[in-house]
Amino acid sequence: MNGLEMTYPATRRSLPLWHMLSGSGKLALLILLLMAGVALAAPLLCRHSHRIASGPALAAPSLVHPMGTDELGVDLWAQIAYGARISLLVGAATALLAGVGGAAVGIVSGYQGGLADRLTMRLIDILLVLPDLPVMIVLAAFFGPSVTTIIVVLAAFSWTATARIIRSRVLILKERRYIKAAELYGAGTLYLLRRHFLPEIFPLAAVGMIRLAGRAIVAEAGLSFLGLGDPTSRSWGLIMHHALSFKGIYYTDFWKWWLVFPWLALTLVVTSLALLGRDLEKLADPRIGRS
């Protein structure tokens, strides 16, 4: 077992990431890169403004407006391209904040135990039992809705799941014989962390973070759907919110572009994230990868 683990990192280093991915993973990565590219190059890719009306209201997709226009006559393709910036930013920032924070808290509280653990668990309990949606409404009312507020609030509410699950894993790991043995032989905390805990925990944290990113994007869309997002941000969720609050949207043809394109963009990104997460999970946990 030890021997296997020793050889594995060598293979990992020798192969570029791309070749380690499965077909779906490659596709997912391509989609994500494409979206990121669209987000970055939005000003170059769009002929029309994403804020100001540039055509008739609710025009169907055409050569001039590849994705049609909304009820104010604003080009939807431009809105979606600029919206990618918001969604990707929210996803990445929240996942990073909550994933790293949650993992750190989980390891510390699981490994240290004692007072630190008790305090963390109480804090997690408090955060977990507070109904998040109303609290978000309150916070949004208090701080004013902005992308930063949404990222911070989402992160503040989503780190707990990662932390708890990682803590429970650390608690189990701590009981493993080889770790007890290593402790007996005088292994330092840092060594234990690096050699034994992190490799075991990384897959959980990575999957957790990828999921967090996806969920943060969905949560932002959900908040915007309720009309609590940043109204000036023009995120995908907000486009859908506007479309859905258009009365009788389902009985007209408008939803075929107004709702479907942002929905598609959102689903594509979120599913790609999940598929990529699967591959990363395989890469991160050598035993899963091989069996």
Partner 1 sequence: MEMKATEQNRRRFFDYLFTLFIVVSLNFALPRLMPGDPFLYLSGDHGEEIARFSTDQIDAYRHQYGLDKPWPAQYAASLFALLRGDLGYSIYYNKEVSTILLNRLPWTLLLVLSAVFFSTVIGCLLGSLSASFRGKALDRLLYPLMIAVAEIPAFLLGLMLLFFLAAGLRLFPLSGAMTHFAGTAGFWHTFVDIAHHAFLPVLTLTMVRTGAMYLLARNAMTTVLARDYVRTARAKGLSTARILARHSLRNAMVPIVTRVFLSLGGLVGGAILVENVFAYPGLGRLMRESVLVHDYPMIQGIFLLVTGAVLSANFLADCIYRRLDPRIGLSTEVQP
Partner 2 sequence: MTTKRLLLFSLLLFLVAACDREPSERPKAQDSTQKCGAAPLVIRLEGGDWGYPSPFAHYPRGPGGFKMALIFDSLLERDEKGLIPWLAEDYTIQENGLVYRFKIRKNVRWQDGKPLTPEDVAFSFKYADRHAATWSYIHESVQEVSADGDTVMVRLKEPLALMLDSLGRTRIIPKHIWEKVERPKEFTTPEATIGCGPYLLTEYSKEHGTYRFQANKDYWGPKPRIDSIEFVPVSEPILAYENGELDMIAVTPDLLPRFTADPANKIVRNPAFWGYRLLLNQKDLELLRDVRVRRALVYAINRSELVEKIERGAGVPGSLGILPPDHIMAVGDIRQYPFDPAAARTLLEEAGLHATGGEALRLLPSGEKVSMELLCSGQEVRMAELLRQWLAEVGIEITIRSVDGKTRDDRVRRQAYQLAIIGHGGWGGDAGYLVSHLVGDVFTQDASPSASGTAGLVNPELLGLLVQQNVEVDPEKRRQLIGEIQRKAAELVPEIPLYYTAGRTMYRPAKYDGWINMFDHHSLQHSKLSYLERTGPAAIRR
- Alpha-helix runs per DSSP H in 175-229: 177-184, 189-192, 198-225
Using the rule CB under 8 A, is 113 a contact of partner 1? yes
Contact residue for partner 2 among 4, 30, 33, 57 (CB under 8 A) = 57
Residue 222 binds partner 1, judged by CB under 8 A: yes
Positions 231 through 270 that interact with partner 2 (CB under 8 A): 231-232, 242, 245, 247-248, 250-252, 254
Compare residues 11 and 232 and give the one whose CB is closer to partner 2. 232
Residue 96: contacted member of partner 1, partner 2, none (CB under 5 to 8 Å, by partner type): none
Task: Note whether 4 binds partner 1 by CB under 8 A.
Answer: no
Cα–Cα distance for residue pair 236/225, rounded to 1 Å: 9
173: partner contacted, choices partner 2, partner 1, none (Cβ within 5-8 A by kind): none
Task: Return the one option of partner 1, partner 2, none that residue 64 interacts with (CB less than 5 to 8 A, by type).
Answer: none
Six-digit token string for 204: 């959980």
Q: Which long-range contacts (CB under 8 A, 24 or more apart) does 47-56 make?
A: 47/75, 47/78, 48/74, 48/75, 48/77, 48/78, 49/74, 49/75, 49/78, 50/74, 50/75, 50/78, 50/79, 50/81, 50/82, 50/83, 50/234, 51/234
End-to-end Cα separation, the chain, in angstroms: 14
Whether 261 contacts 254, CB under 8 Å: no
Q: Return the bridge partners of 69, or none.
A: 75
The listed partner (partner 1, partner 2, none) that binds 232, CB under 5 to 8 Å by sort, is: partner 2
Closest CA to 276 of 17, 10, 11: 17
Q: Which listed option, partner 1, partner 2, none, makes contact with residue 190 (CB within 5 to 8 Å by class)?
A: none
Measuring CA to CA, how many Å separate 228 from each of 61, 138, 145, 265?
29, 10, 7, 20
Residues that bind partner 1 (CB under 8 A): 1, 24, 113-114, 117-118, 121-122, 125-126, 128-135, 137-138, 141-142, 161, 164-165, 168-169, 171-172, 174-175, 203-204, 207, 211, 214, 218, 221-222, 225-226, 240, 244, 250, 263, 267, 270-271, 274-275, 278, 281, 285, 287-288, 291
**Residues found near partner 2 in the complex (CB under 8 A):** 51-53, 57, 71-73, 137, 140-141, 144-145, 227-228, 231-232, 242, 245, 247-248, 250-252, 254
